[in-house]
Chain A
């Protein structure tokens, strides 16, 4: 089945530790996105990539990093510089146009130990 796979489903981070969230898609989509959701807020864009080896900061990129070495994969690293990382993280992909729907993974919930 075509879709987006996020792993792990739950992740715990210790203080000062970097953690990486995985996102893989087999939809052959050029564009991929990372969003963060906090209680009572909408989805906020962290980073997005419209093509391999290129990515742009979203609205809340500070404390996060990404890479896009393969079309299928867009991992997100939550660095120790992100002081409030506890949130639900969603990855999405689409054909590279705002006029195409985005397809979402099931999300990763990150908590601080």
Chain B
């Protein structure tokens, strides 16, 4: 896995808006897909690890879906709150990459009250 694209690069929404981001990756040799949230002045925190095509995971107002055949994952935030402001990173891992993950550039979310 060489190229991971996240879009949009940044997003500004109002409190209460729902939003979603995309992570695109080469579908060959897929093994797992990680999502992390990285708040300013803190360390990245794992949100989800997804492995199966069609997987859907949920944590409170945040959910994610995975399509390994076409090589993308969506992260959704329902009813955004100011505390959701962070950079969201996706990181796929390939079966031939050992323990390596390849991180995307991230989507920076800002939620205004």
Task: Give the docked Cα–Cα distance between A41 and B6 (Å).
Answer: 11
B interface majority secondary structure: loop
Q: Verify if B103 is at the interface (C-beta below 8 Å from A).
A: yes
Q: Collect the chain A residues with CB atoms within 8 Å of residue B102's CB.
A: 45
Cβ–Cβ contact A102 & B46, under 8 A: yes
Name which of A11-19, A65-73, A79-87, A90-98 contacts chain B: A90-98
Task: Give the docked Cα–Cα distance between A98 and B105 (Å).
Answer: 19
Q: Verify if B13 is at the interface (C-beta below 8 Å from A).
A: no
Cβ–Cβ contact B103 & A98, under 8 A: no
Q: Verify if B4 is at the interface (C-beta below 8 Å from A).
A: yes
Cβ–Cβ contact A42 & B43, under 8 A: no
Given the interface pairs A98-B32, A99-B32, A102-B34, the reply to whether A42 lies near B99 with Cβ below 8 Å is no
B104: nearest chain-A partner, CB-CB: A42
Q: Interface size bucket, B side?
A: 20 to 34
Q: Collect the chain B residues with CB atoms within 8 Å of residue A48's CB.
A: 98-100
Cβ contact of B89, chosen from A4, A42, A98, cutoff 8 A: A42
A68 to chain B, nearest CB (A): 13
Q: Verify if A58 is at the interface (C-beta below 8 Å from B).
A: yes
Given the interface pairs A90-B44, A99-B31, the reply to whether A58 lies near B100 with Cβ below 8 Å is yes
Q: Collect the chain B residues with CB atoms within 8 Å of residue A101's CB.
A: 34, 46, 49
In the complex, number of A-B residue pairs with CB atoms less than 8 Å apart = 61
Cβ–Cβ contact B101 & A98, under 8 A: yes
Cβ–Cβ contact B44 & A104, under 8 A: yes
Q: Collect the chain A residues with CB atoms within 8 Å of residue B51's CB.
A: 99
A-B contact pairs, 22 of them (CB 8 A): A33-B99, A42-B4, A42-B103, A42-B104, A42-B106, A43-B89, A45-B101, A45-B102, A50-B99, A56-B98, A90-B43, A92-B44, A98-B32, A98-B97, A98-B100, A98-B101, A100-B49, A101-B49, A102-B36, A104-B44, A105-B43, A106-B42
B interface vs A, CB < 8 Å? 4, 31-32, 34, 36, 42-46, 49, 51, 89, 91, 93, 97-106
A interface vs B, CB < 8 Å? 4, 31, 33, 35, 40-45, 48, 50, 56, 58, 90, 92, 94, 96-107
